Amino acid sequence: MTAREEEYFHFGVATGIHGLRGDLKVRPRTPNSTALQDAGTVLFRRSDGRIEEYAPTRVNSHKGSILLRLEGFESVEAVEPLVGCDVLMRIGDLTDLEEDEFYWFELEGMSVVDVARGELGTLEDVISTTANDVYVVRGRFGEVLIPAVDEFVIKIDTAESRMTVDLPEGLIPEPE
């Protein structure tokens, strides 16, 4: 099957096999993501770029990973070729979020601009903590960790791929 990349997002990677019934261990790109549980189909991108589509029959969380069983794949031998593949999902399979909520793939790569200091860099990662997510921005100030809270994040513009923040003194290392 062929697919246009812009219709999909990279959910994670098939890292191994769990049990004898062909469950794949999938490491999600975003910790604690449950998006795969609502997927009608799951896509696997092989190392040669080929994309294949399968129907999930079982999806469970397990020790920071997702255990995924696919229709027609009931053995270790059947799923072995999928280990190492990127796991993709259709954007249309995602549940709708509240107006001020975003999926990670919508934020990744955004330019981050502070109202006082200007361009900080690019949003490259998110760290999930018990209190709130933390955005990892890399740029001219090195690595800047920004708590993903309304107090600091002023505006997110997905059309412009830009996040505007207002950070307090001390959160960004000052140039020497």
User: What pLDDT score was predicted for residue 73?
Assistant: 92
pLDDT tier at 37, thresholds 50, 70, 90: confident
Are β-strands 23-28 and 65-70 bridged in parallel, bridged antiparallel, or unpaired?
antiparallel
Cα distances (Å, whole numbers) of residue 130 to 39, 72, 140, 173: 26, 38, 29, 25
Domains delineated in the chain: 5-93 (2.40.30.60), 104-165 (2.30.30.240)
- Tens of pLDDT, residues 97-140: 788 788 888 898 999 999 999 999 999 988 878 888 899 999 99
User: What pLDDT score was predicted for residue 56?
Assistant: 94
User: What pLDDT score was predicted for residue 15?
Assistant: 95
